[in-house]
Amino acid sequence: MRIVSAVASRLVWTVPTLLLATLVAFLLQQLIPGDQAVALAGEYATDEKLAAIRADLGLEQPVLTRYLDWIGGVVTGDLGTSYRTGQPVAEIVLDRLPVTLLLTLLALLIAIAIGVPSGVAAAQRPGTWVDRLFTTAATAGIAIPNFWLGMMLIAVFAVQLGWFPGPGGVDFADDPGNALRALVLPSVALGMVGSAEICRQVRSAMIENLGSDYVRTLRATGLSHWSIVWRHALKNSSLPLATILGIQVSHLVGGAVVVEAVFGLSGIGSLVVEATNQRDYIVIQAVVLLAAVIVLVTNLVVDISYRLLDPRIS
């Protein structure tokens, strides 16, 4: 019952949060220098053509009026029509979404697979060379930009060794196997920073738990070291782990913009870059809405996980 109440409470705040996020994005777009009609029609377009474009896009209307018109369309399921292609924005976004979601999921799995064992290993030997090794590696992982790591991965594993496809990606409908192989390198490039953050958080939480009284009691009862570490200490370190995982989802969605550009993937990230260069603002607005929904859903899942992991949380 408490979980249902918590979900209902968070859903109530979802609407104003989405409105605020989309409004800020809409207002920031108006600050971009240049005339959108000129960008769409070309530098040498006639005044009549520019006036027709402005009237068609509603650029002569007040900013708030245009925003409310867009919100009204969103409520009815209409995200608008692309200024450049004439396609419904919903179709464009849904066509690009699977690549980004799969990339983000693979990157998150890689971050967990590397970060959790590394943090646990470092926490068991604090102050030793093992701890310093993993801590240094985590610091380096945070410092290295994912676009640079992506280019290095392409140079070594795609160009020199030929183990994975190069930039450009592969259509899932044509060749699902090669399409998944094409996502390995970008997933690694995107997930390494997340693994470093997870490693540091798990290490801190595990050191605190391994030094607590209940662990000493478990050791006194003769419970094996691995059972204490993996079944008890790690479980009690799950709250900060859930927090950092929720944060990482937001970071991964944002980082996908750069990684997709480096690897030439046709996902939401590359769509944002294309729409920005073409001043196709209505596409950008739809992507902002989608990103806000993903972040809010992730935060909701994290909140629910808190209550499942620790019943004391109200």
User: What CATH number is associated with residue 98?
Assistant: 1.10.3720.10
Contact 88, 79 (CB under 8 A): yes
Interior angle at CA 305, CA 300 and CA 308, nearest 5? 135
* C-alpha span between 103 and 190 (Å, rounded): 8
Question: pTM of whole model > 0.85?
Answer: no
Per-residue pLDDT at 24 = 78
Tell me, yes or no, whether 130 lies in a domain: yes
Of 27, 164, 48, 174, nearest in space to 106 by CA: 164
Per-residue pLDDT at 35 = 63
Tell me, yes or no, whether 56 lies in a domain: yes
Per-residue pLDDT at 43 = 63
Q: Say yes or no: 132 and 34 in one domain.
A: no
Q: Say yes or no: 170 and 266 in one domain.
A: yes
Running DSSP on this structure, what letter comes out for residue 87?
-
* C-alpha span between 194 and 162 (Å, rounded): 26
Q: 119 lies in which domain range?
A: 91-309
* C-alpha span between 123 and 193 (Å, rounded): 19
Per residue of the chain (314 residues), give pLDDT as tens: 566 666 676 677 777 877 787 777 777 766 666 666 666 666 666 666 667 767 766 666 777 777 777 777 777 877 777 777 778 888 888 888 888 888 888 998 988 898 888 888 888 877 788 778 888 888 777 778 888 888 888 888 877 877 777 776 656 556 666 777 778 888 888 888 888 888 888 888 888 887 777 878 878 887 777 887 777 777 777 777 888 888 888 888 888 888 888 888 878 888 888 887 777 778 888 888 888 888 888 877 777 777 776 655 55
- The DSSP bridge partners found for residue 81 are 88
Q: Say yes or no: 196 and 165 in one domain.
A: yes
DSSP string, 62-80: -HHHHHHHHHHHHHTT---
Number of domain units in the chain: 2
Tell me, yes or no, whether 4 lies in a domain: no
Tell me, yes or no, whether 3 lies in a domain: no
* CA 32 to chain centroid: 25
